[in-house]
Amino acid sequence: MKSDTLNGQLDPLILATVADEPAHGYAILQRLKERSGGAFDLAEGTIYPALHRLERDGLLSSAWSTESGRRRRVYSVTRAGTSALKVRRREWKQFSQAVAAVIG
């Protein structure tokens, strides 16, 4: 699935991925690939602007941690992010059901 197909869906995908457990950029990407069965073929760098934007919007928070002597930014979902994810899940269910009903 190409990245333009994901337009508008990357934010809830990231929120859903981070909601289970805080993670750094690379780990988030790996989880996305695993859960989607490798369906998402997006330029890996594109998740970083999205992560920064979600943090500016108050949906994610982040903190530095050190792993094997390397600094990394670990992201977690805020309360506002959890609420936003609930809304997006509900909208997605309605949308996908409607599309399925038409397409079959």
Partner 1 sequence: MSWLDDLSLELYARGVPRRERARIAIELSDHIACEPGCEERLGDPRELANSFADELATSEARGSAFVSFAALAVAAVVLVISQITLARFAGYPGYSNGISTLLFFPAILGMVVAPQVALVAGTLGAWRALRRRRVTSMPAEEIGLIHRRTRVALAAGLATMAGLELYVIDFSERLPAWWLGLAGGLAAVAGICLFAATRTLGRARAIVSGAQGQAGDIYDDLPLLGWSTLRTRPWLLGALASLTVGLALGGFEAHAEHSVFEGIQRGMFEGVVAAVGFVVLGRAIGARPAQQSIKRGTPGPE
Q: Please report, as ranges, the residues that interact with partner 1 according to CB under 8 A.
A: 24-26, 29, 43-46, 48-49, 52-53, 56, 70-73
Distance of closest approach, residue 15 Cβ to partner 1, in angstroms? 15
- Give the angle subtended at the CA of 26 by the CAs of 22 and 29, to the nearest 5°: 85
Distance of closest approach, residue 101 Cβ to partner 1, in angstroms? 28
C-alpha–C-alpha distance, residues 17 and 20, integer Å: 6
Distance of closest approach, residue 43 Cβ to partner 1, in angstroms? 3
Residue closer to partner 1 by CB (options 41, 97) is 41
Distance of closest approach, residue 68 Cβ to partner 1, in angstroms? 8
Query: 24 — phi, psi (to 5°)?
Result: -95, 170
SS3 assignment, position 22: coil
Residue closer to partner 1 by CB (options 7, 104) is 7
Q: What six digits make up the tokens of 15?
A: 């929120």
**Mapped to the 3 state alphabet, what secondary structure does 51-82 carry?**
HHHHHHCCCEEEEEEEECCEEEEEEEECHHHH
Residue closer to partner 1 by CB (options 49, 98) is 49
Residue closer to partner 1 by CB (options 43, 100) is 43
